[in-house]
Structure 1
């Protein structure tokens, strides 16, 4: 696990503001040596600090305006197979392991209500999925973000 320091946080905040900035531009903006910026960018690449670019593309822009979350109770002896099968469903955007009443939280997208019904059926048909409950996302109130954490880290010595 990578521990990001104050300079890393400042660089990431600058990249939030200007995602296509070059290393030279970042160095100038932050008052850092170009080699410092390049070394940190290389380290982030090696340690996979930054998420893949596909996480920045909204499913809505790809024709999937409907978002839902499915909680699933899974046969624990088949958990790895269930996860592998879910990963083959294109409309599954994320799968998170949970503690509590359900085992998995599955984010899905769909083109419309009929498509959502179809996708939910695909999830339920996965061998090892025992039961599911679905909630349709009505409105994203706070989108996934890390900027406040970066700002906090940038302030700490």
Structure 2
């Protein structure tokens, strides 16, 4: 497993400020050579260190201002079918397999409560899903962030 060094942290902090920054601008902002920037970015992509830039688009800008979690209990014999079904639902932004009583925890978005019901039902009706429970987010307290981790000591 590759461990980030101080150079990686400088590059990623600059990218966190502006993920669409060009290699030339990244080199200028970080004081690093363009070749260094390019090789590090290639490594980040290969290792899966960078999220897609579309994660910075707020769902509300796409008409999906209501956010929630949908937890699901699975028939363990149909895990792959359930995951395939959930993947096909565009309103499912992320899905995790947590420890505890919940088998899947999906972060979803919807247009309004009626639309959230539809999204929850789509998840519930996926093959292998036995039951779901939905919790609505009333407001975002801390938006997705990575910068504090980049700035924290190892």
TM-score (norm 2): 0.92
* Uncovered stretches (5+) of structure 2, i.e. residues with no partner: none
Match of 1:114 in 2: 114
Cα offset for 1:101?
Answer: 1.2
CA RMSD for the aligned pairs? 1.5
Q: After TM superposition, where is structure 1 displaced by more than 3 Å over at least 4 residues in a row?
A: none
* Counterpart Cα distance in 2 of 1:122 and 1:76: 19
Cα offset for 1:138?
Answer: 0.4
Cα offset for 1:88?
Answer: 0.5
Q: Which has the higher contact order (CA 8 A, sep 6+)?
A: 1
TM-score (norm 1): 0.90
* Uncovered stretches (5+) of structure 1, i.e. residues with no partner: none
Cα offset for 1:124?
Answer: 1.1
2:22 matches 1:22: yes
Number of aligned positions between the proteins = 154
Change (3 A) 1:122 1:20: closer
* Counterpart Cα distance in 1 of 2:89 and 2:68: 14
* Counterpart Cα distance in 2 of 1:124 and 1:113: 16
